[in-house]
Amino acid sequence: MVKIRLTRKGKKKQPFYRVIVIDSRKRRDGPFVEILGTYDPLKNPSEVKIDTERAKYWIGNGAQPTSVVKKLLKISGL
């Protein structure tokens, strides 16, 4: 199964996340299929940049977004 989820980047205590498409059996920071966008929770307000067209494509092909990514997709206008 393919999932849309977050992968963590950034230094210690300075998280920065990428929204990625990945096989559900792979580890969190493992090899992914495609990067859909970014999420920066430290900015005020938090910054969400997601390619909604590619997200629609992957959801249409059966990719399951996690609960956090669902909220981020809603914020970005999907």
pLDDT (tens digit per residue) in 42-52 = 999 999 999 99
Burial of 66 by CB count in 10 Å (0-12 exposed, 13-18 middle, 19+ buried)? Answer: middle
**Count of structural domains within the chain:** 1
pLDDT in tens, 5-32: 999 999 999 999 999 999 989 888 888 8
Contact in structure between 50 and 36 (CB atoms under 8 Å): yes
Name the pTM for this structure.
0.87
- Mean per-residue pLDDT over the chain, rounded: 92
**In 3D, which of 57, 49, 45, 41 has the Cα closest to residue 73?**
49
Is it the case that residue 39 has pLDDT exceeding 90? yes
CATH code of residue 63: 3.30.1320.10
Judge contact between 39 and 68, C-beta under 8 A. no
- Percentage of the chain lying above the pLDDT 90 cut: 77
User: What is the mean predicted confidence (pLDDT) over 55-73?
Assistant: 94
User: What is the span of the domain harbouring residue 56?
Assistant: 2-76
* Residue-level pLDDT at 67: 95
